[in-house]
Every structure is written in C-alpha cells, then in structure tokens.
Structure 1
C-alpha cells in the first residue's frame, strides 16, 4: 500500500524509517481483528494509528469510538464503557448504552489504557476473551463484536510489577505492538514539521511565515523535545506570534527552548518502552522553572525597550498593558503611556519562599485559568493525564481559578 497516500489522508508528516515502520505494521494488521497496543511518549501522535487501522479494516463503515480512559472519573468509567440500567446508581434515571455496546461491529480506541482501575481491567479482559459484558446494575450478559486498539505512554511491564496493571490484560492487548518513535528519534522530520506548523499559523493569521537560519535549524534538530510534536507545534506558534523578525536565529530560538535539551530528568526509553524518571511533582516543578525563565526573558526585553525610549507610543502602551496584566507594574485606568521608570523609586520587597505545594498549586491554577477551567487542555499543558490533574486539584484544595 502507498504510504504517501496514507500520510496525506491522515495528515501524517515525515519520512523517517521508524515512523514508516510503525505505519506499515498498522496497515498490515488492519484487515485482521487482532488487538493492537500503541506505545510511545506523550505527544508523538499515537492517536493517528487506531484511525488508520479502522479506516483500512473491514469495519470501516461501522462506528469508530475514541475513549480517553484518563479523563473519565473512576466512579463512572464502568458505566461509560459498558452502560448501566435505570436506577443502578444515584442519577441513573434511565438505561444507557456504553461505548462497547455503541461500537458493536466497529472499533474502539482506549487511550491512556494504563489509567483504568483494576475492576474495569477485569471487565475489559472479559470482553477481549469472550466478547461478553454486563451493564452496571444488570445481571444479563450481552455480546459485542468490537475491535480494540489501546494506547499508553506508560511502561506497562513496570506497572505490572507494581501491581497497577493486570498481566493477563497486557498480553491480550499487546497481540500486535506498535511503537511510535519519539521526535528525537526522527530528526530528519523535525524541520519539516516545524515548517508545516509555522505555515499553518501564517495562513491562519495572514502573516509571513517564519524561517530558521542554518544555526537555528541545527539547534532545532538537536534539541531533546521532551513534549515531542505537541511541544514543537507550541514553539512554532509562539515564535510566529511574538517575534517581529521572520528570520529566526539560534539566539532567538534558544529563548523558546527550556534548558538545552540535555537535562537528565527527562523520561528515557529502554527497549522501546517508556520508563518514568521522576514523579509528577518534580516534572511539574521543572516545567514551572522553564516557563518562568521564558517569561522573564520576554519581560526583560520589554523593559529594555521602555527604558531605552526606542518604543513608539503605541508599542509602549501595549507593553505597559502586558506588564500590568502580569502584575509587574500597577494598573491605572488613566494611564495611556508607559511610566517613567528612570524617575521612579526602587522598592525592594523581601521574597517569600514558596513551598513545593504552593508552587504546584500555582502551576495548576495558571494552566486552568489559561484554558478557562477546561481540565483536558490544562492537563496537556502540564504533560499529565486529566485524572492525575483531577486528583491534584482535590489534594491541594483548588476551588477557584
């Protein structure tokens, strides 16, 4: 089958050997009904593979349902997947079909499958073994004919050893494994992807696209890309929106790349599997520090323009508005131009030392405010699952954002 046609159909960009190999496996297994387990780091594009498998299978005219297992609360996930009967729990005012019943004859994609509770894992194993399930609150066994494709960025073998995932379920799901390479493993695709994202932004906002000079391109291709394609797209969009010059140098690009990509706390891959090298709190603390460094760099540049008097009145007003929004200078309804910092008194206040919990709380609140309380988008920004975010919100007592 023509891989180029498949890539064009699903918007998959790149020509690396590792990505082509993953696509070839997906296309070969598509005509069968075998279960598939897609593994890879967060942000590599695992969600494309179940779509490819479904589209080139005999089930393509039936339903395709994608379920984010990490986004459904533990108390309702059985009902969502397998349905429930009227009166089976508080709020069950009528009977409802679950995803496995709705997808009968089609394909169901279980993203973040490692987030499933143990009780749900048992139910899922039964569906995979016999095609049978029971609605919540019912004693009647029902049949379904569903093809299951699962995905995870967790090392399931480690999760099995820690008692968080059933070994028998792992082997049922992992009938055909597909490993999606991290962005750093397909360096030849990085610049192509960057140009695509920059072009998309330019078209959307009617501006000239940005380009990289030779040194910037080398830096881009040698960066570690912890957040993979999702992070690369974010960087391309930020630079396109913020930088006035359309030719980006290595010095400018460096401002948008946390650290130098060689930090030792990043997740590592061992034998094609994902091994976590730090807990959620540590990862979030690092992300906070990186975000702060980027913000401070931008703020320094703005202050330099104001103090040097190089900015126009319109630019000064815009910069002052940004600094007011960031609570760096006091807001004033009557203020129409930048304040004279040279004549103002320097006031030094003692810095308050934040606890780890306060730093974590601030990071979560900031992400939630950025996305107007939408937890799914906030979780993506923080590189965690929505369920982990929900748990941290409860632990830290975050009520308002």
Structure 2
C-alpha cells in the first residue's frame, strides 16, 4: 500500500503498542511522516504544544527503526539543573568537579547503537549545545574533566514546545544546531485542530481505564461528545485523557452524558445546558462566548485545576513517602539515648526528629535508585516526585555520582 499511514496494520500497531490515535487528515499526515522517518537514521525534531504526545511519537520512531533492539534513552532537559546537564549527557571523570567521587558514563554512552530522546531541547544551555552539535556532526564527544575523544553511534530525536526559530533570533539557541536537528520536523497538531479524533480518543482512554479497574464502560452520548469537541483543550490530548480517566473512575464507567460532564467541567458548560442542545450552530466553543463572565469562569476554573493538581501531587508524594518510611523502619537503626535529662528543650527534640526523617528520606532515595539500577526517571516515578525534585535531593544529600 503506497500510503503507509492508511495501512490498517500500521495503524493498529501504532494504537496498540504506542497509543497513537487519530484518523483525521492532520493526524494521517503526521503518522505518514512518522512511518517514513522511522526506518532512517535522520535526526528528527518533534514540535507541538504541551500534551500533544511528543514522547509517545519519539518512542514510536525508535520502535519502528532498525535500532529498536538497542537502548532508548529519554532525557528531559528541562528537569535537570543546568549545572548538571552536561555531566548527565556526556558523563564525567573522577574528580572532574566537587562531588565527582567516581567516573560516570553519560546518557549518550548509555544510548550507544540506540536512540536518545532529548525532550524540552529549548531549555538546553548554549554551552551544552556546542557539545551536542559535535556529536550530531561526527559522533565524537569528551567526558567532563577529560580530553580523551570518545565516539558513539546514536540517533537523536529532539522535542520542544517552543518556536526554535524565534529562540535562534533571540540568541538563546544556536542556528547551526537548529539546522542539524531539523532534518525532519514532525509538528503535532493541537487537539482543537483535529476534534474529529476526539471520539476515538475517548473510546481508547475510557476502555483502557475500564479494563484496568475491571469496570464496564457503557459509552458516551453524542451531545457529550459535541460539548467536548467545543472546548479549547489547552492541555491537549493529556488534558482529555485526564478528564476521561477521572470520569470513568469516579462514575464507575457509567454512560457519560452532559449532566455527568457538568459535574467534572461545570464552569465550562453554559448555565442550564441540560441534555441535547438544539443544533450544531449552538455548540459554540466557550472561548467564543460573547459574555466575558463565561471566559473569566473558564480562566478561573483552569487556574483552580492547576492548583488542585499541584496539591494532589504534594499529597501523593507525602502519602508515598510516609508509606515507604514505615517499610524502611526495620532497616534503619535509630539509636536510643543512654539517659535523659528532664526539661530537655522541645525545639531540640523536634530538630532531632527532623534530622532522622532526613536520614530516612536519604535512605529511601538510595533504595529506589538501587532498585531501578540507577535509572533516575523510574526512581522519581516510584517515589512520587518529579525528576527535578529528585536531582535537587540527590544534590542536597551528596548522592550524585
């Protein structure tokens, strides 16, 4: 079949293995480009707004390539402090900087013969961009603290939600690196530009979470779909997925109607809009409503959602941490005082407890890193914290190797 993106087998593979969903014209063009670029060794730049699925496409590019049996290393350049990024990417020698107590190989060395995915490439410091350009041109690099030239065979896939041409003009990104990265550009469209794929995405996410929770998904009404198609979706596919997963979980996979939608995105619906709306003309996106009050409600609602997500992440972290600390109590020997003096300063006692908690947290992080063989992304996920937070704590506790 000439148009590989329309090949049913390819489409089913992309959906089942990678979760790439879409049969609209825009998504068909994107998938066609993915299928064409995957078997090559060309550098690929994936662009698009937050939540459009850039890492998913990077995974598919690797999985459909001749390097699929070799490592796929994903690096979020925005999650690693600038001072550590060069060392993480290219490795360092013992004594290269304070705290470098042993030699460490970088992500490029770990990805040899495979693929490295550099997410948020626009966050990379200009100094590190020079080394990246050298690898792209010759495959050569030097570890931090070493003059020895090493060589790797790595395919580079980069992604950004920034306009790198603007970053080049403003001096934040090297033009020569931009040209090297941009051998093939795959631009992922925002969800609001291919709303005809929303029903497919809803079914996919709903069925996935229903199967996971052993629930029976009864479907969604046409009017509910029209409402979802009328929304702005600032968070794109990720935002839609979160909404569907929340509704299916809380509503126990019932039949989704506009009334149920109202319970989860109430400010996004016009007052009194119950059940079917008269015509498609009446399905005006919220961002186009004439009343400023409705626009303000959406902005307030989205801000509250962001705050809610931050609070949820914090709660999840502390719950996970407390549970892990309980499990580790038996592994950590906390010395009891040989004697006590009445009238001890209460603040000293509290400070002592805080220090013990720090020791336990340090131990918890070490155990997680050992469990995942030093993979910091997996360790951070297991601990319920972000990669950036993990890097900060590793630095605080002197655990960076």
TM-score (norm 2): 0.66
For 2:33, what is the secondary structure of its paired residue?
helix
Matching residue within 215, 228, 231 for 1:223:
231
User: What is the CA–CA distance in structure 2 between the aligned matches of 1:39 and 1:49, rounded to whole Å?
Assistant: 11
Q: Aligned pair in 2 of structure 1 residues 129, 287: CA closer, same or farther (>3 Å)?
A: farther
Q: Aligned pair in 2 of structure 1 residues 184, 364: CA closer, same or farther (>3 Å)?
A: closer
Q: Which residue of structure 2 aligns with residue 370 of structure 1?
A: 315
Q: How does 1:33-52 map to 2 (within 5 A)?
A: 33-52=41-60
Matching residue within 174, 177, 183 for 2:182:
174
User: What is the CA–CA distance in structure 2 between the aligned matches of 1:161 and 1:239, rounded to whole Å?
Assistant: 44
Quote the offset at 1:389 in angstroms: 12
Matching residue within 11, 20, 34 for 1:4:
11
Q: How does 1:86-165 map to 2 (within 5 A)?
A: 86-165=94-173
Q: Which residue of structure 1 aligns with residue 245 of structure 2?
A: 237
User: What is the CA–CA distance in structure 2 between the aligned matches of 1:88 and 1:245, rounded to whole Å?
Assistant: 55
Q: Aligned pair in 2 of structure 1 residues 390, 99: CA closer, same or farther (>3 Å)?
A: closer
Q: Which residue of structure 2 aligns with residue 290 of structure 1?
A: 302
Moved more, 136-145 or 21-30: 21-30
Number of aligned pairs? 299
Hey, which of these two has a bigger chunk of helix by percent?
Answer: 2
Say if 1:288 and 1:363, in contact at 8 Å, map to a contact too.
no
Q: How does 1:229-268 map to 2 (within 5 A)?
A: 229-243=237-251, 246-257=254-265, 259=268, 262-263=286-287
Runs (5+) with no aligned partner, structure 2: 270-284, 289-296, 321-375, 393-401
Quote the offset at 1:17 in angstroms: 2.0
For 1:248, what is the secondary structure of its paired residue?
coil
User: What is the CA–CA distance in structure 2 between the aligned matches of 1:222 and 1:250, rounded to whole Å?
Assistant: 13
Q: How does 1:320-335 map to 2 (within 5 A)?
A: none
User: What is the CA–CA distance in structure 2 between the aligned matches of 1:77 and 1:245, rounded to whole Å?
Assistant: 43
User: What is the CA–CA distance in structure 1 between the aligned matches of 2:95 and 2:390, rounded to whole Å?
Assistant: 30
Quote the offset at 1:44 in angstroms: 1.2
Quote the offset at 1:388 in angstroms: 11
Q: Which residue of structure 1 aligns with residue 397 of structure 2?
A: none
For 1:65, what is the secondary structure of its paired residue?
strand
User: What is the CA–CA distance in structure 1 between the aligned matches of 2:69 and 2:214, rounded to whole Å?
Assistant: 38
Q: Aligned pair in 2 of structure 1 residues 160, 367: CA closer, same or farther (>3 Å)?
A: farther
For 1:75, what is the secondary structure of its paired residue?
helix
Q: Which residue of structure 2 aligns with residue 320 of structure 1?
A: none
Quote the offset at 1:51 in angstroms: 2.1
Say if 1:84 and 1:138, in contact at 8 Å, map to a contact too.
yes
Q: Aligned pair in 2 of structure 1 residues 290, 32: CA closer, same or farther (>3 Å)?
A: closer
Quote the offset at 1:133 in angstroms: 0.8
Say if 2:48 and 2:187, in contact at 8 Å, map to a contact too.
yes
Q: Which residue of structure 1 aligns with residue 37 of structure 2?
A: 29
Q: Which residue of structure 2 aligns with residue 297 of structure 1?
A: none
Moved more, 200-209 or 253-262: 253-262
Runs (5+) with no aligned partner, structure 1: 265-284, 295-359, 392-401
Q: Is the aligned partner of 1:62 residue 2:74?
A: no
Quote the offset at 1:367 in angstroms: 4.7
Moved more, 137-146 or 44-53: 44-53
Q: How does 1:268-287 map to 2 (within 5 A)?
A: none
Q: Which residue of structure 1 aligns with residue 199 of structure 2?
A: 191
For 2:302, what is the secondary structure of its paired residue?
helix
Q: Which residue of structure 1 aligns with residue 273 of structure 2?
A: none
Q: Aligned pair in 2 of structure 1 residues 198, 75: CA closer, same or farther (>3 Å)?
A: same
Say if 1:160 and 1:166, in contact at 8 Å, map to a contact too.
yes
- Computed over aligned residues only, the root mean square deviation of the Cα atoms, in angstroms, reads 3.3
Q: Aligned pair in 2 of structure 1 residues 244, 143: CA closer, same or farther (>3 Å)?
A: closer
For 1:207, what is the secondary structure of its paired residue?
coil
Q: Aligned pair in 2 of structure 1 residues 240, 57: CA closer, same or farther (>3 Å)?
A: closer
Q: Aligned pair in 2 of structure 1 residues 157, 100: CA closer, same or farther (>3 Å)?
A: same
Quote the offset at 1:376 in angstroms: 8.8
User: What is the CA–CA distance in structure 1 between the aligned matches of 2:13 and 2:214, rounded to whole Å?
Assistant: 29
User: What is the CA–CA distance in structure 1 between the aligned matches of 2:140 and 2:133, rounded to whole Å?
Assistant: 10
